[in-house]
Chain A
């Protein structure tokens, strides 16, 4: 390699190094702001005052969904398997909304500690499988539950299959 090319290669290396370092520092500083949602435990810990717009993320607690028969109003609790936050929402829920499903509610806490959501989004996990496999898994008692690591879940799939 000629000396000129060596020099140019060094410049290329320096550009990459400099940009990576600057980005790493910026992202570390922005770490909290980069999060799309926060969990129930953080709200319970009291880091977020009422009346501030938040996105609350977690699982819909089983047995907690109560739908109003007259309107679209619905109440449920969002859990991270440690703490639960009651959520009230009036609107159309996504098709994936069900108990045990990951959701993100956008809204704010009121004085009573109820989370008033104006939008509810469903999260889905990164697992894809045919319905028969899922049914077999449910029979084998392998339905994904709070706190169960995804590896156990997959092992159950394999057994059922």
Chain B
């Protein structure tokens, strides 16, 4: 009974008009949450937390660098799950959502790489090094760009999405490589500070901005994903009845 309700709900969400309506309801709340969390996070990061014993104020870059890096990777996993669903069930809204993850993930990868570089220059003494962590992160950016390019290269959007979804699956192998690179090989980049298992090596007084910014960035990913997917759906379906019906009035 519950299973059936879930299944029907799942398929309803897949229908473009329903997705269009529901995403319009959710997106503003995600944006509001993002604004709130960012405000708190930035306040903590810039005004409250003490400087680091070794790196002084330069470590404040961490509060945008690390959440962005996590989101670049988490965004890829979201995209891979959506891509797998899209390939098996061929639900068009899922295909679109998977494709719309790529530009957002790429944006976070760019933030991660640039802020990392700006942090590396004063601390390590170099803007860039070809160590395993930095290189695998750069590869992630190229994979994101490749997915976007492949999707755009097809006249038929659905065909493009399907081909790009396969690339998404192939690229997912890079995510564990990024994560474990600092453990498997010697790198210039230091090891993980925050660990899921075992103790984190950051003083508790420095944790709040990291938590707030991480949540903020996740909410923002969701908001932009919904907004971008709505746009893509609208553009693809511009000649279809539901769009004509929804916008015929205000023409």
Contacts and interface: CB of A to CB of B under 8 A. Distances in A.
Do A and B make up one complex?
yes
A123 B53 contact: no
Given A127-B193, A128-B202, A154-B199, A134 B124 contact: no
A59 interface: no
Contact of B191 (A5, A36, A39, A126): A126
A37 B124 CA distance: 14
B125 A93 contact: yes
B138 to A, nearest CB: 14
Interface stretch (B12-20, B167-175, B225-233): B167-175
Nearest to B84: A12
Interface string A72-106: 00000000000000000000111111000000100
A120 B59 CA distance: 20
B53 A130 contact: yes
A157 B206 CA distance: 14
B87 interface: yes
A96 B59 CA distance: 12
Given A122-B125, A129-B52, A130-B52, A36 B88 contact: no
A19 interface: yes
Contacts of A20: 173
A121 interface: yes
A120 B125 CA distance: 8
Interface string B162-192: 0000100110110001000000111110111
A126 B193 contact: yes
B173 A130 contact: no
A64 interface: no
Interface string A114-139: 00000111111111111111110000
Pick the most buried of B88, B169, B177, B206: most chain A CB atoms within 10 A of its CB: B88
B197 interface: no
A53 interface: no
A131 B193 contact: no
B95 to A, nearest CB: 13
Interface string B113-156: 00000000011111001111000000000000000000000000
B244 to A, nearest CB: 32
B125 A121 contact: yes
Contact of B201 (A31, A37, A127, A135): A127
Contacts of A23: 173, 177
Contacts of B236: none
B205 A94 contact: no
A154 B201 contact: yes
Nearest to A57: B186
Contact of A128 (B132, B170, B177, B193): B193
Pick the most buried of B84, B89, B169, B188: most chain A CB atoms within 10 A of its CB: B188
Interface in A1-36: 5, 8-9, 11-12, 15-16, 19-20, 23, 27, 31, 34-36
A133 B166 CA distance: 50
B169 A123 contact: no
Contacts of B193: 126-128
Nearest 4 interchain pairs by C-beta: A94-B125, A134-B53, A130-B50, A129-B203
Given A93-B125, A94-B125, A126-B191, 10 more contacts: A36-B185, A36-B187, A96-B125, A120-B125, A122-B123, A125-B201, A127-B54, A128-B55, A130-B205, A154-B199
Interface of B: 50-55, 59, 62, 84, 87-89, 122-126, 129-132, 166, 169-170, 172-173, 177, 184-188, 190-193, 199, 201-203, 205-206
